[in-house]
Copies of this chain bind each other. A is one copy, B any other.
Amino acid sequence: MLSELATELRQTLGLLHKRDIQPVARHLGAWVPDNTTQKPIWLGDDCAAIPDGEGYLLLAAEGMWSVLVETEPWFAGWCGVLVNVSDIYAMGGKPIAVVDALWSQSTDQAEQLWQGMQAASKAFNVPIVGGHTHCHSPYKALSVAILGRAQQLITSFNAQPGDTLLLVTDLKGQPHPKYPFWDAATMAEPQTLQAHLNLLPALAESGLCDAGKDISMGGLVGTLLMLLETSGCGAELDLEAIPCPSDLDFKQWLVSFPSYGFLLSVRPDCVEPIQQLFAPHDLVCTAIGQITPGHTLTLKSSAESTSFWDLSQESLTGFSPSHADRKHNPSNL
């Protein structure tokens, strides 16, 4: 039964699409030097972290899923801002501004995408400061890019064997009727959303956590695989420890975009103080597994366990320490 679940999970669209990144990873390499400081900008994280003074500028872009843009333009516009904002907070940063590129067949179509983006811009208090609009295009498409800033980073490169894996999420939401989205955002109070997101930079600046990742379209499982790949580790994921919204199928939950969801990889002595940080906010902050040596993600449930994915045999995004030796000293190049 666990192996059936594993087979189904492997086949989900979200996971497969992450593999589209592989050729990109080959092109990009593991890092590029910053022109000003010559320090490395590591690639494959939620955002690029560009050294700036004592901290970092964060830069990211997302291209929205064509089906969502076609069928639910308002929600696609909303999500375009949401996913970018989440990428910034996931790294311990705060957003500064977003820009977009929008293609549509008419001004009317563009309008709904715009309304969604505007609504999210208000909800997350991040201004839309520019972009590019085509209203005579053969297709509808939307990309949103974001600039942010962090003092201390939470990155996808720092998970370490022995770390406890924490799931941070919000179970107060509703499933999208058609797509694997858990919506804990559109109906929430903007102040609440912002307060919940601001816990991430507070966490980073506290020094309690330096490793983690935004749960994106690959869901909890896909995101964990990406975290393991970029950190060069394995993990044991304890399925029975994962809290699930009561009205949602567990399998669906494992691959859903949770709208507010982060995986944190933390040293064991930091688990309790981190849980105390999230406790007053009625959010989930629960240990769901452990980072291990090796490159295999193992699923556990009761007495059963199954090897779900061996990243040393099959890569997911291609952004791994081995693919371009990121643990070597880049200042040599």
Contact = CB atoms under 8 A, between A and B. Distances in A.
A134 B20 contact: yes
Contact of A103 (B35, B44, B66): B66
Contact of A21 (B23, B62, B133): B133
A130 B61 contact: yes
Interface in A54-82: 57, 59-63, 65-66
A134 B137 CA distance: 19
A198 interface: no
A186 to B, nearest CB: 19
Contacts of A36: 96
Given A23-B110, A23-B114, A50-B147, A41 B129 contact: yes
B41 A138 contact: no
Interface stretch (A25-33, A159-167, A204-212, A270-278): A25-33
Nearest to A111: B23
B20 A63 contact: no
B50 A129 contact: yes
A184 interface: no
Interface stretch (A120-128, A241-249, A250-258): A120-128
Interface string A259-301: 0000000000000000000000000000000000000000000
Nearest to A65: B134
Interface in A127-148: 127-139, 141, 143, 145, 147
A291 B99 CA distance: 30
Interface in A81-123: 94, 96-97, 99-103, 107, 110-111, 114, 118
Nearest to A102: B63
A47 interface: yes
A48 interface: yes
A87 to B, nearest CB: 9
